[in-house]
Amino acid sequence: MWRVQRKIMSQMSLHKELGLTVPQMGLLNMIAKEKKSRVVQLAECMEVKSSAVTVMLDRLEVLGYIKREPDGKDRRAVVVTITEKGQQVLEEGHFRSKELLAEHLSILKPEELRNFAEYYRMIEDQER
């Protein structure tokens, strides 16, 4: 079971094939879920400074994955949205991750798979 976990974690760099780091992929995912986000909100969710998010947004914008526009309600604020191209790369990343996970989990016996799932449920509960 631990071998499977290590393999999965080591191959999470799969997003590099898409030209993104894991944090950039996570940020793109947040933007997609929120539909319209402000930099400050994204920074709070990621537990980083706004300047760190801005750097990641710069890269995502250059790649054409996000768009920044002035907020109609607050001239000082910027609203971030995902583009169609960004949505496509996000969907490709999700597809690849699911394939990778299915491939690695398929080698586990039913009992090991239940233990693996229970372990991650415990971790998720602790994070809440």
Instruction: Write out the residue range of the structural domain in which residue 105 sits.
Output: 13-127
pTM, entire model: 0.69
What are the 10-residue block averages of pLDDT along the chain, 128 residues in total? 60 64 83 88 86 90 92 83 92 81 78 79 72
Q: What is the 3-state secondary structure (H, E, C) of 57-95?
A: HHHHHHCCCEEEEECCCCCCCEEEEECHHHHHHHHHHHH
The reported pLDDT for the residue numbered 57 is 92
* In a domain? residue 108: yes
Task: Count H helices and E strands in the chain, helices first.
Answer: 6, 3
Q: Quote the pLDDT of residue 95.
A: 84
Q: Identify the CATH number of the domain in which residue 59 sits.
A: 1.10.10.10
* pLDDT attached to residue 67: 95
